Amino acid sequence: MPSTELTGSHVPKALVCGPVRAWHVVFLYVVIFVVTAMASVKLTATADPEWQLAWSSLLCQTITALLVALITLIVPELRRSVGTLFGPGRTPLTVTDALLYLALMLTWAYGAYRILFTFPLLHWNPGLSSLLGYYDHFPAVGAVFLLFWSMSTGLVAPFAEELVFRGYLQNLWHARRGLWLAVVLSAICFGLPHMQFAVFATVAGVFLSLVYLKFGSLCPGMLLHGLYNLIAAPYLLGHVFAEKRVGDFASLSNWIPELILTAAFFPLLYVFWRRFRPHT
């Protein structure tokens, strides 16, 4: 049963007082993820190579979101929790909140994450560069590719991911395992489907968990999640940091922009924590 500390934290009673458990959600999401990933690859096999990847991503995310919505409608506990999860929350999202979150995420993505994680890996094995999203010459993409990619990462993915990982998993674990274990476990589950970018996404999941805890509604997190994905997409702002030759991986002198952003990340992390830390 949920503890009394959940009274003011917008945890849906219909969700945590019913028979649904976190492992049920994890199992269903894994099945959905595997099936939709395989189906999207098969269905887009004959698509135009110029936008095949983006079309496959959009199809995968859309099918996932539809299946998550369908399961939500079918399962009574999930259906009755929707009003609380998407409610107005305890406080409105401000411009300052949004700018702080985006600044923190950008300095994490293009600064601290790259210096603390990808630089050591690439220094050790430059052959991992393409796997981690680096190119000697970044491939050109067309308008159709950008449209599909933006719809996938900016609109569809944030809906399903915030609902499953923050809305369902975090709340279910919060009720039965405590706040911080819930934040960590939901963040790990969010990170794992991002494959080779799991470390980056897990930390991002912690930030999104704090956003949800501050506002008590999924709507601000979905908006911020989508905005970040649009701004930082590898085919937009990410392009600036993704072009590195193999020889650039050997010395930190070739990572000056990343070092500057890393220096900015830690003060921003402190400010973000002061503003978003949970009080329950």
* Spatial separation of the C-alpha atoms in residues 153 and 275, rounded to whole Å: 27
User: What is the pLDDT, as a whole number, of residue 152?
Assistant: 95
Task: Kindly indicate the confidence band of residue 9, based on its pLDDT and cuts at 50, 70 and 90.
Answer: low
Specify which residues 135 forms β-bridges with.
243
* Spatial separation of the C-alpha atoms in residues 103 and 4, rounded to whole Å: 35
Q: What is the mean pLDDT of residues 89-95?
A: 92
User: What is the pLDDT, as a whole number, of residue 6?
Assistant: 43
* Spatial separation of the C-alpha atoms in residues 26 and 49, rounded to whole Å: 33
Tokens of 261: 């952003």
User: What is the pLDDT, as a whole number, of residue 1?
Assistant: 39
Tell which phi-psi region holds residue 142, choosing left (phi > 0), alpha (psi between -120 and 50) or beta. beta
Tokens of 140: 């050109």
User: What is the pLDDT, as a whole number, of residue 4?
Assistant: 35
* pLDDT tens string 96-121: 999 999 999 999 999 999 999 999 99
**Rounded percentage of the chain residues whose pLDDT exceeds 70:** 96
pTM: 0.94
Q: What is the mean pLDDT of residues 151-163?
A: 96
User: What is the pLDDT, as a whole number, of residue 280?
Assistant: 61
Tokens of 280: 């329950």
Poorest-confidence range of 28-42, 52-66, 124-138, 187-201? 124-138
As to burial, measured by CB atoms within 10 angstroms (0-12 exposed, 13-18 middle, 19+ buried), residue 188 is middle
Q: What is the mean pLDDT of residues 204-229?
A: 97
Half-sphere exposure of 204 (CA within 13 A, CB side): 29
User: What is the pLDDT, as a whole number, of residue 248?
Assistant: 84
**Contact indicator for 6, 16 with CB cutoff of 8 Å:** yes
**Contact indicator for 58, 152 with CB cutoff of 8 Å:** yes
* Spatial separation of the C-alpha atoms in residues 242 and 188, rounded to whole Å: 25
Q: What is the mean pLDDT of residues 2-10?
A: 45
- The maximal CA–CA distance of the chain, rounded, in angstroms, is 57
